């Protein structure tokens, strides 16, 4: 997760960041058992792990709140903007190497991307979203190291009927039982009849 960008800029040209050296976002969808019905709440909570935005010894590691010494916000990084450039400015500061996210419809951003940090944070599922994409707030990703474990909880996905029982228990109807009993009695009588 340490090198994951929170969305694909090629699918979202109005939300371009970095130099495209990221790995794909970590995606949460109905395949993870969460319903994406509009208005539902998803809760994100940092559990453990550390990420560094630097490649070499001496670069510190951080939890999902990121490097609180450097607010990236809408600053121009070493090459270009970070994902935080496109987030609600009233939620600043957003730090470098902080966990950030967006809702999407098959990779296309729905709504406004947002910071997550350590959480727990409750977020409302917007109409049109079918996944939640998670990544790191950075402009250079390939030199990042580490990963986080994030707990994701939300409304359960749709529950269908139980699968069919491959070994159903047979149940005889009363008429079938009577026919079987009379046939059995006839067989016993035939076997007992002298030859």
Element at 40 (helix H, strand E):
none
Please state the domain extents for the chain: 13-153
More confidently predicted of 39 and 183: 39
pTM over 0.85: no
Tens-digit pLDDT profile for residues 94-112? 999 999 999 999 999 999 9
């Amino acid at each position: 997760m340490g090198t994951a960008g929170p969305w694909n800029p090629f699918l979202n040209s109005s939300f371009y960041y970095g130099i495209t050296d990221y790995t794909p976002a970590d995606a949460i969808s109905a395949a993870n058992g969460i319903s994406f019905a509009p208005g539902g709440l998803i809760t994100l909570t940092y559990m453990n792990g550390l990420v560094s935005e630097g490649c070499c010894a001496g670069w510190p590691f951080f939890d999902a709140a990121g490097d609180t010494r450097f607010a990236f916000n809408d600053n121009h990084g070493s090459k270009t903007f970070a994902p935080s450039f496109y987030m609600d400015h009233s939620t600043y500061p957003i730090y470098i190497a902080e966990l950030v996210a967006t809702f999407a419809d098959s990779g296309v951003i729905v709504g406004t991307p947002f910071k997550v940090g350590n959480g727990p944070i409750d977020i409302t599922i917007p109409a049109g979203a079918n996944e939640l994409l998670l990544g790191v707030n950075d402009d250079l990703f390939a030199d990042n190291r580490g990963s986080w474990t994030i707990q994701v909880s939300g409304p359960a996905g749709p529950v269908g009927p139980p699968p069919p029982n491959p070994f159903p228990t047979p149940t005889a109807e009363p008429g079938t039982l009577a026919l079987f009993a009379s046939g059995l009695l006839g067989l016993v009588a035939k076997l007992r009849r002298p030859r």
